[in-house]
Chains A and B, each alone.
Chain A
Amino acid sequence: MTKEILELKDVTVRFAGDSGDGMQLTGMQFTNTTALVGNDLSTLPDYPAEIRAPAGTTYGVSGFQLHFSSSDIQTPGDSPDILVAMNPAALKINLKDLKHGATVIVNINSFDSKNLKLAGYANNPLEDGTLQGYNVVSVPLSQLTSAALENIGLSAKEISRSKNFFALGMMYWLYSRPIEPTTNWIRSKFKDNPLIAAGNEKALFAGYYFGENTELFTTRYNVEPAKLPKGIYRNISGNEALAIGFITASVKSGLPLFLGSYPITPASDILHELSRHKNFNVRTFQAEDEIAAISSAIGAAFTGALSITTTSGPGVALKTEAIGLAVMTELPVIIIDVQRGGPSTGLPTKTEQSDLQQAITGRNGEAPVVVIAPSTPADCFAMALEAARIATKYMVPVLYLSDGYIANGSEPWKIPEPDEIPKIDVKFRTEKEGFYPYSRDENLTRPWAIPGTPGLEHRLGGLEKSNITGDVSYDPENHEFMVRLRAQKVKNIENDIPELEVTGDNDAEVLVVGWGGTYGSITEAVSRVRKKGLKVAQAHFRYLNPFPKNTGSVLKRYKKIICPELNMGQLARFLKSEFLIEIESFNKIQGIPFKSSEIENKIERTIGEIDNAVR
């Protein structure tokens, strides 16, 4: 049976099932294969905080969304075109997000009375009209997987675990993806367990051929490769990009990379990744707690390491006092906060941008640190280099604000040639002549003199220091001088970072400002609004303390500024108080990223209000 192939420009798919169903793995495999096909893509994993919530329940549903396209895209997509629901709970949780008329593939074998009840369905949604308007494809996924794998020697439980590969195979057929990348992966992943490998591979092929032979699908789809800039690409998540970014910074600076860390969601993957690369002389220390993690990083920085600590919001709260010590001792320590929903334990696996205030002002005393934030998964690499450059050049702690969305999400990354990445110049002080631990260069930076250097023995500490000599000082005027000096040192860094870039229409009256991980959804929204012929401009902050030098002059050019944030308006508050301008906050605090359409509507409403006021 030959089937029609329909060309599509872009597609958003979502896989959903129990947290034990392997949905993250299925999503990642589909993503890697799609990357190899050459589509632009963006992903959004979404999983519960519980490792294995009771099977069949709505709170145990794990999902993975992928947007792929033949052109440049910015977000994982607002609403899926197609949902693969492994059970009724997955359908129940995800149905509301789908596009009107979307395709819903369900594993009909799981729609029994027990699972319907667990999902909270009084009636079977496949039969009661709930899915009216959707293109429902009911596939006996469990049954077909069992049939394909019978007699190969796997237990019923093991066979059942392979059904995600059946679903993946079916989706590969449907979207004309090659099957080999996944068969290669299966063989290497399960090389010690050939029976499991064989089962998974068989299920994958069974799904693929099912797609080809079934009459349920009359059409298959194709999405042509995207026209990305020339180069070699790989798909990369924010946490991965960050980890290899710091290894690169270590190589480029000649400093050993030291990571002091305590496991925490969603930052732990950075610890995992760096622990694999000890052959780069990476020193990873899993400390007894968050405080020990940063304290060890401070100790390592004292001895000349490129020193980082990775955590999430609650961990930053615990590290707060130690960050103050790094401010006072003027040691280059980089604190990475992969933000999640707060306060307290909050929403461990969900994203939020609510640690900006904590990062900029959350310490006792006047304790300025540099704050930067990557804007996309791949940007986590570039900003790691920036964090290392700034911290070591100015002997200052740097707070790096990633978030759960860009940390776990992924996108194609054009791999840079290592030789084209600038070196990070670091000089340790060795001359004894005229050495004082708190003397200053033209940047107000104090010398980095590491233990082991003869004649430069000195003591650092949290007590106020006399400028130049570094002796303990309670002198009132010295204290004020030092407080101002530390602030000035950080402020001066505005001369050493890129200016705030404005994109969009030159004659726009509305500016949309954002920071960090919302870059994709804002950019997509601005682009959609402009396609409708409306005028709007966009500026995105990657440097939050100090702000880029031209920030004030940029902001003052616009009649109206909208600031979308995944918090209660923290950036807006800082901009308002620093530049005394009006800013309209647009907030979402649901643990999930903005949909571009939400921002798009907000921009359009705002432009409309200005037009009405003029009339």
Chain B
Amino acid sequence: MRLDKINGGEEIHLKYTAKDFTSSQDVRWCPGCGDYSILAQMQRSAPDLEIIKEKMVWISGIGCSSRFPYYMETYGMHGIHGRAPAIATGVKLNNPGLSVWVATGDGDALSIGGNHFIHACRRNIDLKILLFNNRIYGLTKGQYSPTSEKGKKTKSTPFGSVDFPFNPVGLALGAEATFIARTLDRDPKHLQEMIRRAAKHRGTAFIEIYQNCNIFNDEAFALFTDKETKADNVLVLEHGKPMVFGKSNNKGIKLSGLEPEVVSLDDGQYSVSDLWVHDEFDKNPARAFLLSQLSERENFPMPVGVIRQITKPTYDHDFHEQIEKVKEQKGEGDLRKLLFSGNMWEVN
């Protein structure tokens, strides 16, 4: 039993199950694709999101991830390449009572649609953007993407890519998204938790999901998902908790100024109280930016969780508030007055 908190707090009791969010369409991703997990976690967490089903809208662009709306039994639109945030902006602005979600990929959001992505973040429009990052172009069969690592050999880079990749979390931070998280397709519980957290946020909520493409970039994230290597390479961020990781929780991140350091908790030199304590609401974005790039440093773990969350007025809210204010000041529009205005004269 849930309450609809979206439409003016009107109490409507909802009893959804994952099945209610499952459309009749056959899912056509490659067997073993990480997208299946993301779809399943979305459908499983949807009943908990306090969203009336007919008010949920899924918008996507082009690419494997962008087939997502077809499989959700909600309103949806499979748009054109890169433009999902722009289409979603029109949906949200015209009806701010809707809960608008964007499914996108690394090519869709960061290459052809980079402009729309950063501007959605900048405006802080209330959209939930799920970026399926598999660091490869899947639907066009295996070219490098804007998140592929330098040197990567693909069909379009047989001698290795000479391009530097984007860091999606860093990009979203720079564009001033107000909720930024990172998670993994192979960690269903954590993924569900991030979905729930994003749903609660008001403003642009961005989740980067490391997603395995088992056809063109298999095991790209194995280091972070394999049982043997996971604990030593993933740092699970929790608000107010010190940054501890490692197989036996024996390592931590210590911060001196803006210089992070991996320290051992085994040798008695440092204890948990010396570690960097994660603050999701940190006003200063510099530390969040450090986190976004952490795994690019040698021997550092890759942080997952809510990297940063701040409160800021949303574009859709201010957009409609301004309309209401103008109505108050000028009075509701009167068509006759509008037509019969300016310098008029009468011909008899």
Alpha-carbon separation in the docked complex, A225 to B347 (Å) = 9
Contacts between the two chains (Cβ within 8 Å), count: 215
B95 within 8 A of A: yes
A269 within 8 A of B: no
Residues of chain A within 8 A (CB-CB) of B272 are none
Residues of chain A within 8 A (CB-CB) of B80 are 295, 321-322, 324-325, 462
Contact check, B86 vs A233: say whether CB atoms are below 8 A apart.
no
Question: Known contacts A234-B342, A299-B87, A451-B54; is A258 also within 8 Å of B94 by CB?
Answer: yes
Contact check, B115 vs A288: say whether CB atoms are below 8 A apart.
yes
Contact check, B83 vs A244: say whether CB atoms are below 8 A apart.
no
Alpha-carbon separation in the docked complex, A251 to B333 (Å) = 9
B227 within 8 A of A: no
Contact check, A418 vs B335: say whether CB atoms are below 8 A apart.
yes
* Chain B 304-348: CB-based contact to A (< 8 A → 1; otherwise 0): 000000000000000100110011011111011011111111111
Contact check, B347 vs A292: say whether CB atoms are below 8 A apart.
no
* Chain A 134-163: CB-based contact to B (< 8 A → 1; otherwise 0): 000000000000000000000000000000
B185 within 8 A of A: no
Alpha-carbon separation in the docked complex, A244 to B115 (Å) = 32
A121 within 8 A of B: no
* Chain A 26-53: CB-based contact to B (< 8 A → 1; otherwise 0): 0000001001111000000000000000
A232 within 8 A of B: yes
Contact check, A296 vs B326: say whether CB atoms are below 8 A apart.
no
B140 within 8 A of A: no
Q: Which residue of the partner chain, among B58, B62, B97, B333, contacts A281 with CB atoms under 8 Å? A: B333
Contact check, B340 vs A232: say whether CB atoms are below 8 A apart.
yes
Alpha-carbon separation in the docked complex, A329 to B91 (Å) = 15
A434 within 8 A of B: no
Residues of chain A within 8 A (CB-CB) of B260 are none
Residues of chain B within 8 A (CB-CB) of A228 are 347
Closest to B84 in A: A295
Contact check, B90 vs A452: say whether CB atoms are below 8 A apart.
no
Q: Which residue of the partner chain, among B54, B72, B90, B339, contacts A455 with CB atoms under 8 Å? A: B54
* Chain B 74-88: CB-based contact to A (< 8 A → 1; otherwise 0): 111111110100111
Contact check, A280 vs B78: say whether CB atoms are below 8 A apart.
no
Q: Is the interface of A mostly helix, strand, loop or mixed?
A: mixed
Give the size of the chain B interface in residues (CB under 8 angstroms).
60
Q: How far is the CB of A127 from chain B (nearest CB, A)?
A: 42
Contact check, B90 vs A295: say whether CB atoms are below 8 A apart.
yes
Alpha-carbon separation in the docked complex, A452 to B86 (Å) = 20
A415 within 8 A of B: yes
* Chain B 47-77: CB-based contact to A (< 8 A → 1; otherwise 0): 0000001110111001000000110111111
A230 within 8 A of B: yes
Question: Known contacts A235-B343, A295-B90, A415-B344; is A278 also within 8 Å of B326 by CB?
Answer: yes
Alpha-carbon separation in the docked complex, A32 to B25 (Å) = 62
Contact check, B343 vs A35: say whether CB atoms are below 8 A apart.
yes
B156 within 8 A of A: no
Q: How far is the CB of B53 from chain A (nearest CB, A)?
A: 7
Q: How far is the CB of A474 from chain B (nearest CB, A)?
A: 11
Contact check, A279 vs B326: say whether CB atoms are below 8 A apart.
yes
Alpha-carbon separation in the docked complex, A248 to B334 (Å) = 10
Contact check, B338 vs A451: say whether CB atoms are below 8 A apart.
no
A92 within 8 A of B: no
B89 within 8 A of A: yes
Contact check, B74 vs A457: say whether CB atoms are below 8 A apart.
yes
A502 within 8 A of B: no
Residues of chain A within 8 A (CB-CB) of B346 are 231-233
Q: How far is the CB of B263 from chain A (nearest CB, A)?
A: 44
Residues of chain B within 8 A (CB-CB) of A258 are 90, 93-94
Residues of chain A within 8 A (CB-CB) of B93 are 258, 283, 285, 296, 299-300
Residues of chain B within 8 A (CB-CB) of A531 are none
Residues of chain B within 8 A (CB-CB) of A453 are 54
**Which A221-256 residues have C-beta < 8 A from chain B?**
225-236, 244, 247-248, 251, 256
A456 within 8 A of B: yes
Contact check, A292 vs B98: say whether CB atoms are below 8 A apart.
no
Alpha-carbon separation in the docked complex, A260 to B58 (Å) = 20
B23 within 8 A of A: yes
Contact check, A302 vs B77: say whether CB atoms are below 8 A apart.
yes
Q: How far is the CB of B122 from chain A (nearest CB, A)?
A: 9
B116 within 8 A of A: yes
Residues of chain A within 8 A (CB-CB) of B341 are 234
Question: Known contacts A279-B333, A303-B94, A461-B79; is A451 also within 8 Å of B327 by CB?
Answer: no
Contact check, A416 vs B339: say whether CB atoms are below 8 A apart.
yes
Residues of chain A within 8 A (CB-CB) of B86 are 287-288, 291-292, 295-296, 299
B119 within 8 A of A: yes
Contact check, B340 vs A415: say whether CB atoms are below 8 A apart.
yes
**Which B7-47 residues have C-beta < 8 A from chain A?**
23, 25
Closest to A295 in B: B86
Contact check, A457 vs B94: say whether CB atoms are below 8 A apart.
no
Contact check, A472 vs B95: say whether CB atoms are below 8 A apart.
no
* Chain A 523-543: CB-based contact to B (< 8 A → 1; otherwise 0): 000000000000000000000
Residues of chain A within 8 A (CB-CB) of B336 are 417-418
Contact check, A35 vs B345: say whether CB atoms are below 8 A apart.
yes
Q: Which residue of the partner chain, among A298, A324, A460, A462, contacts B90 with CB atoms under 8 Å? A: A298
Closest to B70 in A: A459
A513 within 8 A of B: no
Contact check, B339 vs A459: say whether CB atoms are below 8 A apart.
no
Alpha-carbon separation in the docked complex, A373 to B179 (Å) = 46
Q: Which residue of the partner chain, among A235, A251, A278, A297, contacts B335 with CB atoms under 8 Å? A: A251
**Which B92-146 residues have C-beta < 8 A from chain A?**
92-95, 97-98, 115-116, 119
Closest to A297 in B: B90
Residues of chain A within 8 A (CB-CB) of B322 are 278
Contact check, A292 vs B331: say whether CB atoms are below 8 A apart.
no
Closest to B88 in A: A299
Contact check, A298 vs B87: say whether CB atoms are below 8 A apart.
yes
Alpha-carbon separation in the docked complex, A329 to B59 (Å) = 13
Q: Which residue of the partner chain, among B23, B78, B97, contacts A460 with CB atoms under 8 Å? A: B78
Residues of chain B within 8 A (CB-CB) of A471 are 25
Contact check, A452 vs B97: say whether CB atoms are below 8 A apart.
yes
Contact check, A181 vs B343: say whether CB atoms are below 8 A apart.
yes
A338 within 8 A of B: no
Residues of chain A within 8 A (CB-CB) of B95 are 303-304, 450-452
Contact check, B91 vs A288: say whether CB atoms are below 8 A apart.
no
**Which A257-302 residues have C-beta < 8 A from chain B?**
258, 260, 277-283, 285, 287-289, 291-292, 295-302
**Which A1-59 residues have C-beta < 8 A from chain B?**
32, 35-38
Contact check, A292 vs B76: say whether CB atoms are below 8 A apart.
no
A395 within 8 A of B: no
Contact check, B345 vs A280: say whether CB atoms are below 8 A apart.
no
Residues of chain A within 8 A (CB-CB) of B70 are 459, 461, 472
Contact check, A283 vs B338: say whether CB atoms are below 8 A apart.
no
Contact check, A295 vs B79: say whether CB atoms are below 8 A apart.
yes
A295-B116, A307-B94, A461-B77 known; 11 other A-B pairs, CB under 8 Å?
A233-B344, A234-B342, A278-B322, A302-B75, A305-B90, A325-B80, A451-B98, A459-B58, A460-B76, A462-B79, A463-B78
The 5 A-B residue pairs with the shortest CB-CB distance, nearest first, are A299-B90, A461-B78, A280-B333, A296-B90, A295-B86
8 A-B residue pairs with Cβ-Cβ distance under 8 Å, sorted by A, are: A251-B333, A295-B89, A295-B116, A298-B87, A302-B90, A304-B94, A451-B98, A457-B75
